[in-house]
Amino acid sequence: MTSDMLSKTNWKENFPPLVIVSGLLLGAAAAILVKLGNPGNMGFCIACFERDIAGALGLHQAKPVQYLRPEILGIVIGAAIAALTRREFAPRSGSAPVVKFLLGVFMMIGGLVFLGCPIRMVLRLGGGDGNALFGLVGFITGIALGVIFLRKGTTLGRSYKEQYPLSAGVLPLLAVVGVVFLIIRPGIFFASEKGPGSMYAPIWISLTAGIIVGVFGQRSRLCFAGGLRDMMLFRSSHLLIGLIAVLIAVLISNLALGQFNAGFDGQPAAHQDYLWNSLGMMLVGLCAILLGGCPFRQLILASQGNGDSFFAVFGMITGAALAHNFGLAASGKGVPAAGMIAVGVGLLVCVIVGLTAREN
């Protein structure tokens, strides 16, 4: 291979066009959705939106956070379409689904203590929310701990192709049914009259944005935890550049739209309990490494037929229900004691999984 070919290969590895475009689209779309009605710094948030969906289905009764979010439905549909066109849509399972369900539960609890998933952490930073810096520190710490486990041989195993092909379509089918009901009979679901659940962009714009993000997310393999993991393990910035692209896009978009508000006080859907901002995202990061992907990546994988990621996604929805039914979730006032205990238990469970899930 010539030096010119090597240089071109290294450039594409360090600055992958598809990953960069995916990050830019996600960041810009998030800022625009906020301008059109979504909650502040919450144009896209897998944890928050799955929590709202859990409320819309009546799995919890926290009235301010109930809405069948079209963005999540769109991501599922878009990722499924992209996987079909690339012949990557196939049923797969066999990688400790029950453990992944449990890790999904704790990943959601960590996210709701911080008040956001890794995507929202970056969106909050791009909106000027200084509290998210503590979440970033915790997220990096959780990933670093997960990388230590990976280096020691921790793994939940591989997913293998199933024989029953229709099982791959369960989540996309549910998403399509959700869209139909949302348009034809929206009153069938619980919906907030005030609070974050009552704040949303027009359905068709949210759905379209979700589909676009789902398509590019599937094609690029964008993963917020994976980017940091690969940098620590392999010194590869291939996925990490996507996270940076999201931050740049949302920062520029927020400045252009007059939505940038730098500081720690008065930030939307945020609290100033710095320790638990950090520990909540530490739990999210550690769970993500053990699961093999962040909440966004798990949703994409489940949309293309991965049954184990399907369990992780529904673990997150279950975690949202538990968090609000048992008073674990944080609010603008801070983190309840039950939430602190739940994060501690989650970290302990992750450490047990990391120490015991080893290849012989």
Instruction: Give the model's confidence band at 157: pLDDT under 50 very low, under 70 low, under 90 confident, else very high.
Output: confident
| Rounded mean pLDDT, 259-277 | 96
Dist CA 107 CA 78 (whole Å): 24
| Rounded mean pLDDT, 206-221 | 98
Q: Tell me if 157 is assigned to some domain.
A: yes
| Rounded mean pLDDT, 320-341 | 97
| Rounded mean pLDDT, 311-322 | 98
Half-sphere exposure at residue 356, Cβ-oriented, CA atoms within 13 angstroms: 8
Instruction: Give the model's confidence band at 11: pLDDT under 50 very low, under 70 low, under 90 confident, else very high.
Output: low
Mean pLDDT over each residue of the chain, to the nearest integer: 94
Cα dihedral across residues 291, 54, 112, 345: positive or negative: negative
93 burial (CB, 10 Å; 0-12 / 13-18 / 19+) is buried
Dist CA 107 CA 224 (whole Å): 14
Q: Tell me if 1 is assigned to some domain.
A: no
pLDDT for 1: 45
Element (H, E) at 160: strand 160-161
Percent of the residues in the chain that have a pLDDT greater than 70, as a whole number: 95
* Other CB atoms within 10 Å distance of the CB of residue 192: 19
Tens of pLDDT, residue by residue over 164-204, are 778 889 999 999 999 999 999 888 999 999 999 999 999 99
Cα dihedral across residues 181, 184, 187, 191: positive or negative: positive
Dist CA 153 CA 295 (whole Å): 23
Q: Tell me if 134 is assigned to some domain.
A: yes
Q: Tell me if 337 is assigned to some domain.
A: yes
Tens of pLDDT, residue by residue over 98-122, are 999 999 999 999 999 999 999 999 9
Candidate from 164-173, 232-241, 243-252 with smallest mean pLDDT: 164-173
Does the pLDDT at position 251 exceed 70? yes
Dist CA 34 CA 170 (whole Å): 30
| Rounded mean pLDDT, 338-353 | 98
Does the pLDDT at position 15 exceed 80? no
Q: What single DSSP character describes residue 168?
A: G
Q: Which domain holds residue 295?
A: 13-356
Q: How many domains does the chain have?
A: 1
Does the pLDDT at position 5 exceed 50? no
Residues 147, 233 contacting (CB under 8 angstroms): yes
| Rounded mean pLDDT, 54-69 | 97
Secondary structure of residue 205 in the 3-state scheme: helix
Does the pLDDT at position 9 exceed 60? no
Q: Tell me if 4 is assigned to some domain.
A: no
Two tokens at 319?
A: 């975690």
Dist CA 160 CA 359 (whole Å): 17
Q: Tell me if 320 is assigned to some domain.
A: yes
Q: Tell me if 6 is assigned to some domain.
A: no
Q: Tell me if 48 is assigned to some domain.
A: yes
